Amino acid sequence: MMDFAKLFSLEGRVAVVTGGSRGIGRMIAEGFVAAGCARVYITARKAAVVEQTAHELGEACVPLPGDISTLDGIQALADELAKRETGLDILVNNAGVAWGATFETFPEQGWDKVMDLNVKTPFFLTQRLHGLLKAAATDHPAKVINVSSIDGMKNNPWDTYSYHASKAALVHLTRRMAAELVKDNIVVSGIAPGAFPSEMNKAAKNAGDLVAKGIPVKRIGDTLDMAGGAIFLASRAGDYVVGTTLPIDGGIVNGSMRERGVDPLGNAL
């Protein structure tokens, strides 16, 4: 008889969720706590917010504030984890940033900041945590989950050039890292969120009903949508999903222009 609860359980697992203090990272951390993780480390720069979130999510959630946009910050997080744990079952590379400016005025700073945190950090943080991930990958695979975006799979009309490029890069980096790390029993996969309310997606946060009109299922995403996908990938249920990025988007990537009320030529339907 199939043990259904065990299929999705994260009982006793140790996880790190970068950018776990708010938004999508917090939704994932909350899900991991509910699924039975022993410890869910959350990291972000604003220490007070990290600590408040950890307090709200309960004693399994552990605050580890820090800036992971630089190699020094990444190494500091890896060193701190190595002091506390002998293995790491789940790493969620979620922390991300966006930058908007017109094509003509887009600055180099808006390119480097976004590419550093959204692409370089997931690679180097996974590299620096490789030893801990391998150590945990004994009776079950360790998991790395990269949070990209549907903007890495299709265009949106916003002037977020480096963000689009960074997320497409992360979708492909997920495939490449999966091919490499599978030999160590580390399964790498990804999540491409659609519209979820957060500081980054202020439109979904402040005008969710309006945003929902353009989404095939006619609502924005919520904590259960995000936690459900992350728990699936992190648990036994997702062990055979290797190198794939799962859109959790209410149908945007696979939708048509009909939801937006226009045909492909922009004519009203």
Ligand X SMILES: NC(=O)c1ccc[n+]([C@@H]2O[C@H](COP(=O)([O-])OP(=O)(O)OC[C@H]3O[C@@H](n4cnc5c(N)ncnc54)[C@H](OP(=O)(O)O)[C@@H]3O)[C@@H](O)[C@H]2O)c1
Residue 154 CB-density burial (10 A; 0-12 exposed, 13-18 middle, 19+ buried): middle
Stretch that binds ligand X, among 92-100, 137-145, 211-219, 258-266 (CB under 6 A): 92-100
Residues 151-170 that bind ligand X (CB under 6 A): none
Give how many residues touch ligand X by CB under 6 A: 30
φ/ψ of residue 30, rounded to 5: -60, -40
Whether 163 is catalytic:
yes
C-beta closer to ligand X: residue 153 or 241: 153
40 binding ligand X? (CB under 6 A): no
C-beta closer to ligand X: residue 33 or 137: 33
**18 strand-pairing partners:** 43
Stretch that binds ligand X, among 78-86, 94-102, 135-143, 209-217 (CB under 6 A): 94-102
DSSP string covering 102-160: -TTT--HHHHHHHHIIIIIHHHHHHHHTHHHHHHH-SSS-EEEEEE--GGGTS--SSS-
3-state DSSP call for residue 86? coil
Residues 172-231 that bind ligand X (CB under 6 A): 193, 195-196, 198-201, 204
Residues 47-76 that bind ligand X (CB under 6 A): 49, 67-69
Would you state the torsion angle of the CA atoms of residues 45, 211, 150, 143, taken in this order, to the nearest 10 degrees?
A: 50
Question: What residues are labeled active site?
Answer: 163
Which stretches of the chain bind ligand X, using CB under 6 A? 18-19, 21-25, 43-46, 49, 67-69, 94-97, 117, 147, 149, 193, 195-196, 198-201, 204
